[in-house]
A and B are shown apart, each in its own frame.
Chain A
Amino acid sequence: MNSILKVCVGQQAVRNFLKPTLETFTITSRGKKLLNPPPRKRLSPWLIKQNRVQHRDDLTPENKEFIQQVIKDKYAPSNNDIERFSPLKLDTIEPITEWQPHYRRVGVIAKKIGIVPLWLKNGKKIITTMLQVSDNHVIKYIPPEEYKPMISKRKTVWPRTMGCLIVGAESCDPQLFTKEYCGLFNDSGVMPKRLLARFSISPEAALQPGTPLSASHFQIGDFIDIRGKTIDRGFQGVMKRWGFHGMPASHGVTKTHRRPGNIGSGSHKARVLPGTKMPGHMGNRYRIIRGQRIIRMNTKYNIIWIHGDAVAGATNSFVQIYDTVLPFKTSKALNVTPRFPTYFPNLQKEALPEELFADDLHNFADPTIIYTDE
């Protein structure tokens, strides 16, 4: 038996078969590809259950005070970046500050706080959206080798070149969350965050967990992509969802004033074609608006003004913003150097001014616009 095996192994074809090859595996696609996939009802695979049931603990005021004191002691040095990192737990990531055009930087989580008009220097009124980068910290870095998101549309997965950086926004009281969720923040040493988001980055743009991110991550004139969840409108009819005209109110029409009418033929293809516009759930989908220009910035309150009013979601909802992928609007195409890997206030000699304006934007502190004859 052994001799037969040896002979087999010795042969070229079998040896090639047994050789370790490039690691590929397939993932079956789940569900059909729809025009508007329904929202997922489960958590993202990399996210642990967040909120816990708030039991009535009947704590005395002294005990409550004591808990607050413990929390304060644990997360007190959050202002000081150096003390927080324990080198025993984590490998320190030294930031590479030299920018290459093919690098991909991290994004930030922001809050859409409203839409206001501003004026250009030629007197034209524009509509802008205000986004507040609220209390962002880097939570975790996953290198390309370890980064395996569970769901992938591609059937064959090649070795990854992009890593992943998890960013959190809005520090909260840890008592609100489950023990496991709070455990996510042990390595970075920041307070548990209400929101987490992951950004795929090139490994050179990796950041040390615990690094704060601010609005100064971007510059005036940059173009950004904004990903947000649209307003949830529930199950809607065809007139509201797709803008159909409906049918007349009178002239013998009965019970079909807001209905779609015909949805397909009966002879050749006697079925409803996929993608037919029909009633259904409207909103509550992630939508990305690309190539929005930053025209104003406030570094004290971490606020970005972008030109346009089409950001998904209502006021006070959260969005993710990152460098645009549109080829003619990237920093490579515009030939500018972004702040890479992010803006470090400690390394800069001069602090940024509080208000930053684009060249063509009117500052309200300036005098009245007066046109001159040419």
Chain B
Amino acid sequence: MAITGKIRLNLQFKKPLRYFLHDSRKISTVVSEKINENLKESNNERLDNTKLPLELLDYRFKFAEFLPDPNPLHRNKIREKLERRDMLLRRSNVEIPEFYVGSILAVNYSDQHAPGKQNRFLGICISRTGQGLRASFILRNVIDKMGVEISYFLYDPTIQKIEVIRLEKRLDEELFYLRDAPPEYSTFPLDMRAKIHAHGTCVPINEIKVPLNPLPWLQRWERMNMKGIIDCKSMVNEKRRIKAEYKIHTKPWEKYDLMKMYRETIPIEEQKEIFAEIYSSLQEHEIHRLKSKRTRSLVKPIKTG
């Protein structure tokens, strides 16, 4: 009886298991080292099977806001399609560059309250959230020894220009711990000059680790398991250290929760559809941007010469 039960289970779960472990992981939106390693190894195999250009595989990180909502209850294909169309229309009017959490950005935007009806803010991107038109990001900087954060909607029509000063990634997906870190870790001069990132090269990861200020903190960082913090567990008392290792906080079962992973990720077939739809227009914007860059660089020497 037991044996038959086992066999049945195997038959039932064979396909989905295979799907999750071999197919879905590679294309999931969850970023982790293992997945990246697997991707590099098996890129060639996948290309043969799916005939996806190499660029499209990066698009899920590069243009993450084009993917549907992680909550399946909030998804609707027609709405997402119309949203994507609006997003592309906005992208044809303003250049929205590739950037990640940890990149340093400068945003120029029209402001009714400012004297010249125009404003500029520079800072490090500490979080990027939202899908579709509600995609947003938060910039943080320390000005006159005072920490300041401003959030922007990515597709806000008052944004005139988004400059990427440093294109890089950090070890974590959100950097809210900079609020509890010494101010020098989030201080950037407002007139910082942009460093040009060579087209086609991979984005560097800034592996800087941040010490935290003494307690109290805004959040219980010892429970968060952040890679970018230097040894925050030794700063808390014994009671908090023990509590941080409770299973309810570490959640060791989550890596085996296949359904959770399935719900939060978008399968490769759907991603292929979405990116195939927007590929040509994104490519056009890219070519247009490169062209304008080239003309700009050509003009400069004539002026100086």
Contact = CB atoms under 8 A, between A and B. Distances in A.
Contacts of A372: 117
B82 A371 contact: no
Contact of A371 (B90, B117, B153): B117
A130 interface: yes
9 contacts: A114-B79, A117-B153, A118-B133, A125-B153, A315-B74, A363-B89, A364-B157, A368-B94, A369-B110
B102 interface: no
A117 B133 contact: yes
Contact of B133 (A113, A116, A298): A116
A118 B90 CA distance: 12
Closest 5 CB pairs of A and B: A364-B89, A371-B117, A114-B79, A113-B76, A113-B79
A366 to B, nearest CB: 7
Interface in A95-152: 113-114, 116-119, 123, 125, 130, 132
Given A114-B79, A116-B134, A303-B78, A315 B73 contact: yes
A220 interface: no
A113 B78 contact: yes
Given A116-B133, A117-B133, A314-B73, A364 B90 contact: yes
Given A117-B133, A372-B117, A366 B157 contact: yes
A94 interface: no
Given A123-B110, A364-B157, A370 B76 contact: no
A362 interface: yes
A111 to B, nearest CB: 8
A364 B78 CA distance: 18
Q: Is the interface of A mostly helix, strand, loop or mixed?
A: loop
Contacts of B83: 116
Nearest to A119: B157
A235 interface: no
Contacts of B156: 119, 125
Given A117-B134, A364-B157, A368-B94, A301 B78 contact: yes
B116 to A, nearest CB: 8
A133 to B, nearest CB: 12
B160 interface: yes
Contacts of A314: 73
Contacts of B89: 363-365
Contact of A123 (B75, B92, B93, B157): B157
A365 to B, nearest CB: 5
Contacts of B78: 113, 132, 301, 303
Interface in A293-327: 298, 301, 303, 314-316
Contact of A301 (B82, B86, B153): B82
Interface string B120-160: 00000000000011100000000000000000010111111
Contacts of B76: 113-114, 315-316
A371 B78 CA distance: 34
Contacts of A303: 78, 82
A360 interface: no
Contacts of B117: 370-373
A367 interface: yes
A85 B155 CA distance: 49
Nearest to A127: B134
A354 to B, nearest CB: 11
A370 B110 contact: yes
Nearest to B115: A373
Contact of A368 (B74, B87, B132, B157): B157
Given A117-B153, A365-B89, 16 more contacts: A113-B79, A116-B79, A117-B133, A117-B134, A125-B153, A125-B156, A130-B79, A132-B78, A303-B78, A315-B73, A364-B89, A364-B155, A368-B94, A368-B110, A368-B159, A370-B110
B232 to A, nearest CB: 29
Interface string A332-374: 0000000000000000000000000000001111111111110
Contacts of A123: 110, 112, 157-158
Contacts of B74: 114, 315
Nearest to A122: B112
A363 B86 CA distance: 8
A362 B94 CA distance: 15
A122 to B, nearest CB: 8
Interface string B86-104: 1101101110000000000
Contact of A366 (B93, B110, B134): B93
A359 to B, nearest CB: 16
A301 B78 CA distance: 8
Contacts of A116: 79, 83, 132-134
Contacts of A298: 82
A368 B156 CA distance: 9
B109 to A, nearest CB: 9
